[in-house]
């Protein structure tokens, strides 16, 4: 471990919940880099797409010329974690017909799918593949996953059985905000995926 360099994880910092992700990444022993411009992506091992407002984030990602470089990073196998609005940007399908953005996860989302009257809520989530302790999910105008494809592994479900944390290969997403609790299992998993990626034969 000692000879191994620390993973460098970017956090898209155009809008939304950035600081908490930066802190979470540092807590699991990786370096965190705020990403605002394409040059900030150079040398990163993985990227977090935080929560915020996905329509605004789409617009800003395009305005700053980040769409293609981020897509290229993902094609190259760099692990990604999208939370809340970030999950919407990663999804291949949106149930309101809105265009997909990065389309890296074979699932369908419904924006604000938990309903406006229930803007925010918290729930303990079963997440057996992450350990026996439940994950505490903080949902803020969260997307609801309405369909998942066969290659998507469901890491956690809400009490009604909707997937709320998923993994497809090197891409992770949550409908809730793991950075707002002190449970670091998802950020740790992201960093572990970097390790797997660098051990893969060239």
By CB under 6 A, name the one of 34, 71, 95, 112 that touches ligand GLN: 112
Q: How far is the CB of 56 from ligand GLN (least distance, A)?
A: 8
**Tokens in use for 127?**
């997440």
Please count the residues of this chain forming the interface with ligand GLN, following the rule CB under 6 A: 11
Q: Residue 110, interface with ligand GLN (CB under 6 A)?
A: no
Interface residue with ligand GLN, options 93, 110, 111, 167 (CB under 6 A): 111
Among 141, 146, 147, 169, binds ligand GLN (CB under 6 A): 141
CB of residue 109 to ligand GLN, shortest distance in Å? 9
Q: Which stretch binds ligand GLN (CB under 6 A): 1-9, 70-78, 81-89, 122-130?
A: 81-89
**In whole angstroms, how close is the CB of 35 to ligand GLN at the nearest point?**
17
The three state secondary structure string of the chain is: CCCCCCCEEEEECCCCCCHHHHHHHHHCCCEEEEECCHHHHCCCCEEEECCCCHHHHHHHHHHCCCHHHHHHHHHCCCCEEEECHHHHHHEEEECCCCCCCCCCEEEEEECCCCCCCCCEEEEEEECHHHCCCCEEEEEECCCEEEEECCCCEEEEECCCCCEEEEEECCEEEECCCHHHCCCCHHHHHHHHHHHHHHHCCC
- Asked if 14 touches ligand GLN (CB under 6 A), the answer is no
The answer to the question of residue 53 lying near ligand GLN (CB under 6 A) is: yes
CA distances from 98 to 65, 91, 101, 112, 166 (A): 21, 11, 9, 13, 21
Nearer to ligand GLN, 70 or 84 (CB): 84
The residue within the footprint of ligand GLN, chosen from 60, 123, 138, 140 (CB under 6 A), is: 140
Active site (catalytic) residues: 84, 177, 179
Interface with ligand GLN (CB under 6 A): 51-54, 84-85, 88, 111-112, 140-141
């Amino acid at each position: 471990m000692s000879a191994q360099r620390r993973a460098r994880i970017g956090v898209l910092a155009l809008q939304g919940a950035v600081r908490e992700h930066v802190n979470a990444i540092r807590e699991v022993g990786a370096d965190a880099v705020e990403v605002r411009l394409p040059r900030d992506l150079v040398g990163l091992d993985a990227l977090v797409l935080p929560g915020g407002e996905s329509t605004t984030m789409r617009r800003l990602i395009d305005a700053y010329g980040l769409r293609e470089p981020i897509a290229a990073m993902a094609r190259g196998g760099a692990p990604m974690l999208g939370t809340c609005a970030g999950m919407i940007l990663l999804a291949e399908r949106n149930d309101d017909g809105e265009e997909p953005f990065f389309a890296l996860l074979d699932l369908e989302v419904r924006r604000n799918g938990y309903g406006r009257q229930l803007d925010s809520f918290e729930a303990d989530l079963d997440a057996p593949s992450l350990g026996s302790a439940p994950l505490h999910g903080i949902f803020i105008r969260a997307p609801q996953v309405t369909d998942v494809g066969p290659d998507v592994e469901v890491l956690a479900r809400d009490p009604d059985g909707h997937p709320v944390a998923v993994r497809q290969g090197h891409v992770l997403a949550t409908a809730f905000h793991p950075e707002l609790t002190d449970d670091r299992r998802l950020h740790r998993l992201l960093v572990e995926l970097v390790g797997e990626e660098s051990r893969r034969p060239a």
